[in-house]
């Protein structure tokens, strides 16, 4: 383990800080390396775990937050966010166990990946997911979302979906995410009123 914990590394970081030099990235890398070694992880495994959801196999919110600007550069005209929430996950976990809940999540991810691609599908939280489309007509995104709902209903799963499009030249990803989440919550309220 060359370089880990050596006095010269610590001295360089401390002296650099005193001289006003920014060695924060070196300190961060040094601490990460120590923690990975202590936990028995290698760099590749650590990166994989920080960017992927282990239950569903898709990218996670951390990856989205770090890479969204790079991902959206391919858009020529529009970007559409499809925000999803699995209805009844908590109840399923409590009644049938977490494996049953995991099957619900995996079923949704399978549909998202099939419709929107695995590279642009993300697990955002416990039961929340985001898919992104680039330069796709809204009616086509809606049709794909309706198909996802139909396919999941056949498996007795229910999902609320909110869709929010934006033109590429008026793109604010924070607002787009907020608006898609808001649309999903409205869909969820409607689902809860009907059940």
| Cα radius of gyration rounded to whole Å, the chain | 21
With the C-alpha atoms ordered 157, 152, 105, 127, is the resulting torsion angle positive or negative?
A: negative
Residues 145 and 168 both lie in one domain: yes
Contact criterion met (CB below 8 Å) for 129 and 84: yes
What pLDDT does 61 receive? 95
Residues 104 and 142 both lie in one domain: yes
| Domains held by the chain: number | 2
Residues 115 and 183 both lie in one domain: yes
Residues 38 and 85 both lie in one domain: no
pLDDT < 70: residue spans in the chain: 1-43
Asked whether residue 45 is domain-assigned, the answer is yes
Asked whether residue 111 is domain-assigned, the answer is yes
What pLDDT does 129 receive? 98
pLDDT in tens, 45-68: 778 888 999 999 999 999 999 999
In degrees and rounded to multiples of 5, residue 79 shows phi and psi of -135, 135
What pLDDT does 141 receive? 98
Residues 31 and 94 both lie in one domain: no
Asked whether residue 1 is domain-assigned, the answer is no
Is 193 exposed, middle or buried (CB count within 10 Å of its CB: 0-12, 13-18, 19+)? exposed
Asked whether residue 159 is domain-assigned, the answer is yes
Residues 66 and 39 both lie in one domain: no
What pLDDT does 19 receive? 45
Residues 68 and 149 both lie in one domain: yes
Entry pTM = 0.77
CATH number at residue 158: 3.30.70.270
Host domain of residue 94: 59-194
Contact criterion met (CB below 8 Å) for 183 and 163: yes
Could you list the beta-strand ranges (E) of the chain: 59-60, 78-87, 121-123, 128-134, 158-167
Residues 34 and 129 both lie in one domain: no
Residues 24 and 94 both lie in one domain: no
Asked whether residue 36 is domain-assigned, the answer is yes
Give the residue from 122, 130, 138, 131 showing the smallest Cα distance to 77. Answer: 138
pLDDT in tens, 115-143: 999 999 999 999 999 999 999 999 999 99
């Amino acid at each position: 383990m060359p370089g880990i914990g050596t006095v010269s590394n610590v001295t360089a970081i401390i002296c650099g800080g005193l001289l006003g030099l920014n060695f924060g990235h070196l300190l961060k890398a040094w601490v990460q390396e120590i923690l990975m070694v202590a936990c028995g992880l290698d760099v590749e495994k650590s990166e994989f775990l920080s960017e992927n959801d282990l239950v569903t196999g898709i990218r996670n919110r951390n990856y989205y937050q770090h890479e969204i600007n790079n991902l959206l550069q391919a858009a020529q005209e529009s970007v559409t966010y499809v925000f999803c929430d699995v209805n009844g996950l908590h109840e399923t976990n409590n009644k049938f166990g977490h494996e049953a809940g995991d099957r619900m999540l995996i079923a949704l991810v399978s549909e998202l990946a099939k419709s929107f691609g695995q590279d642009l599908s993300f697990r955002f939280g416990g039961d929340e997911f985001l898919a992104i489309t680039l330069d796709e007509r809204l009616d086509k995104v809606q049709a794909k979302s309706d198909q996802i709902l139909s396919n999941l209903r056949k498996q007795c799963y229910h999902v609320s979906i909110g869709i929010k499009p934006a033109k590429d030249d008026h793109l604010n990803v924070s607002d787009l995410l907020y608006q898609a989440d808001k649309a999903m919550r409205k869909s969820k309220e409607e689902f809860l009123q009907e059940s």
